[in-house]
Amino acid sequence: MSPQGGSGLRVIGPVVQGGTITVEVGSNDTTVYVSAGSAGETVSHAVVPGKTNQLPVPPVPGGTVLWLWVGKGLNRRVVLVEVLAP
């Protein structure tokens, strides 16, 4: 699977239920937000800037599309990624 996202945030490889999300973040980003699409289902993860990081996949059904983002204000960069059933 090709990386999804552009400058600042990229998801590498498939995202499988119960697995991890591999993300590459920009050099200024220290937090990645992962959400199933509501404020109550949004989790923030501290990450190492400029590196590849592993984030846990939230407990959602297969087929759910997750929203991942980094950045502040309207400079937020957002990526969509689908959770695959194992």
Q: Which stretch binds another protein (CB under 8 A): 12-20, 24-32, 47-55, 63-71?
A: 63-71
Rounded to whole angstroms, how far apart are CA atoms 34 and 12?
A: 15
- The residue among 24 and 41 lying less far from another protein, judged by its C-beta, is 41
- The residue among 48 and 80 lying less far from another protein, judged by its C-beta, is 80
Rounded to whole angstroms, how far apart are CA atoms 79 and 9?
A: 7
- Host H or E run for residue 81: strand 77-84
Task: Tell whether residue 38 is a contact of another protein (CB under 8 A).
Answer: yes
Task: Tell whether residue 22 is a contact of another protein (CB under 8 A).
Answer: no
Q: Are 46 and 31 in contact (CB under 8 A)?
A: yes
Q: What is the torsional sign of CA 45, 37, 2, 62? A: positive
The single residue among 6, 7, 27, 74 that binds another protein, judged by CB under 8 A, is: 74
Rule CB under 8 A: which residues touch another protein? Answer: 33, 35-39, 41-42, 63-65, 67, 69, 73-74, 76, 78-80, 82
